[in-house]
Chains A and B, each alone.
Chain A
Amino acid sequence: MAGALTVPAPPAAPAARIVAALDGREDQITVLPVLSGAGPLALRRLRAGQRTGPAEVALVGAMAAPLGGDRIAVSVRVEAGARLRVTSVAATVSLPGPQPGPAWYDVELAVAAGAVLEWLPEPVVAAAGSHLLLTTRITLDAGARLRYREEQILGRRHDWTVHGVPGRLTSRLTVRQAGRLILDQQTDLGPGAPGWDGPAVLAGHRAAGQLLTVGLPCTAPSEECAALLALPGTDAHLLVAVAPDGLALRRLLTGPL
């Protein structure tokens, strides 16, 4: 039914935090004054000591997370002029917990004027019996640039062969640019979400994803199962795609190499 109407606000959880800023002394070099893991999420600095390009951080799931009942949060702020790329070392697999009930994953991204954030984690995979409520809030100042990828995979092969169903992923993505709401979108995929497998929503595809680009180049896909959507804001584009599996989805979101 209309059960997952709005994602209930998750009770406050301590968030893993990253703050990226320009080095006050040496221009054009991004430093990370705050880099702190929390709960099951550890953060690892990559390319440390590099003097060119963006600062890079990898999200590391220190445990098999999230499990039903978990509350995970990440908060990232990129200060004016800084450049940050965030990746993850592996897919995030959402698993059922000891008690029935969902897990919450909260992502908060803020990008200041002239700053660049690339948020390119590996996919979220919904294992049979799990339900993950994913909430992402992105706040962009005027002139902030962003590349944000989100990939949702319904079930591992094992979930389909053994259980015949994947888990459920309810995801809400809200983007503000210079105070204006330019994207507010919730998808609810997996058992319990009405019509999710039908011809209006996924029609048998097991992977869905998008690449949001603001102020950076992007290319229109040639495939039928992807489209580049110009959002109401300034130079903001959403590449949306559905695919039979994660590999095919990544190809659609990456474009011809």
Chain B
Amino acid sequence: MSGALLLLADGRFPAGGHAHSGGAEAAVKAGLVHDADGLAAFLTGRLHTTGLTAAGLAAAAAGGFDPAGLDEAADARTPSPALRATSRRLGRQLLRAARVCWPDPVLDGLAAAYPGGAHQSVVLGLAARAAALAPADAALAAAHESVNGPATACTRLLGLDPYQVVAVLARLAPELDLVAEAATRAAAEAVRRQDAQPLPAASAPLLDLFAERHNAWKVRLFAS
């Protein structure tokens, strides 16, 4: 079923991600990322924090964990109101595309229950499930999304050599696999216990600060 996974994880999948930088725009503006090495360090931190957390939520959703419980877990794992709003907006946009690609009453129910949008990672997991993908696929797609978006954003923001940027992503790929595996294991445990506690809750102080700071800017290239 890897065809559906490639589609879901493709940066061109029309789910709104292109307008978001995942904190990269604020990190660039703060002078903390200006070259490929800085990008690699940024992506490593993001992958192992919000990437891991999103991967766990996505895998749990794909594994059949109650979406309402996951929505609460995602809210609690996202203390920044700006990031909660972004996650729900992107969740809503992703759901729109997923319902057309993989019609499923569960997705319809999610849209009805969360008119303002469910969290992106939860939608991703349920979309994967609707596409008959496994929790591990959902985790991988979420982990990939957590680094792919900011990498593309940095290509645009910094005019980085695109070959260097994809090379950074390629070097990160083995870690991406590990993060997805860890998230999948934790999600299986959460599903077994019907308790979100085992799901990763990894966070990064600066990503929260960046999100709030960026949200207050009047002039910016990316929505987040």
Which residues of A are in contact with B by a Cβ distance under 8 Å? 1-2, 5-6, 172, 174-175, 180-188, 193-203, 208, 224-227, 229-232, 238, 240-242
Contacts and interface: CB of A to CB of B under 8 A. Distances in A.
Given A181-B73, A196-B45, A186 B201 contact: yes
Contacts of A186: 200-203
A2 B178 contact: yes
Contacts of B72: 180-181
B209 A226 contact: yes
Which residue, of B23, B49, B79, B204, has the highest number of chain A Cβ atoms within 10 A?
B79
A203 B38 CA distance: 10
A137 B87 CA distance: 26
B58 to A, nearest CB: 15
Given A2-B48, A195-B46, A181 B201 contact: no
Contact of A229 (B48, B76, B206, B208): B208
A229 B81 contact: yes
A138 to B, nearest CB: 12
Nearest to A225: B209
Given A199-B45, A229-B81, 9 more contacts: A5-B186, A6-B198, A185-B203, A197-B41, A199-B42, A199-B206, A200-B204, A201-B204, A242-B205
A5 B182 contact: yes
A161 to B, nearest CB: 24
B20 interface: no
A185 B201 contact: yes
A180 B71 CA distance: 12
A200 B27 contact: yes
Contact of B32 (A193, A203, A238): A203
A1 B84 CA distance: 26
B47 A242 contact: no
A229 B27 contact: no
Contact of A200 (B45, B73, B182, B186): B45
B208 A184 contact: no
Contacts of A1: 175, 178
Contacts of A238: 79
Given A185-B77, A229-B79, A230-B81, A208 B205 contact: yes
B104 interface: no
- Kindly list the 4 A-B residue pairs having the minimum CB-CB distance in the complex, ordered from nearest: A195-B45, A200-B45, A198-B41, A199-B32
Given A187-B203, A229-B208, A199 B38 contact: yes
B130 interface: no
Nearest to B174: A1
B41 A195 contact: yes
Contacts of B48: 2, 188, 193-195
B220 interface: no
B51 to A, nearest CB: 10
A6 B52 CA distance: 11
Contact of B49 (A6, A182, A200): A200
Contacts of B27: 199-200
B79 A183 contact: yes
A2 B79 contact: no
Interface string B20-55: 000100010010110000100111111111001000
Nearest to A198: B41
Nearest to A226: B209
B81 A194 contact: no
B213 interface: yes
A194 to B, nearest CB: 4
Nearest to A182: B76
B206 A184 contact: no
Interface string B175-194: 10011011100100000000
A172 B182 CA distance: 17
Interface string B63-99: 0000000001101110111001000000000000000
Nearest to B207: A200
Nearest to A188: B202
Contact of B79 (A6, A201, A203, A240): A240
Contacts of A172: 201
Contacts of A201: 45, 49, 204-207
A197 B33 CA distance: 13
Nearest to A193: B48
B36 to A, nearest CB: 13
Contacts of A187: 202-205
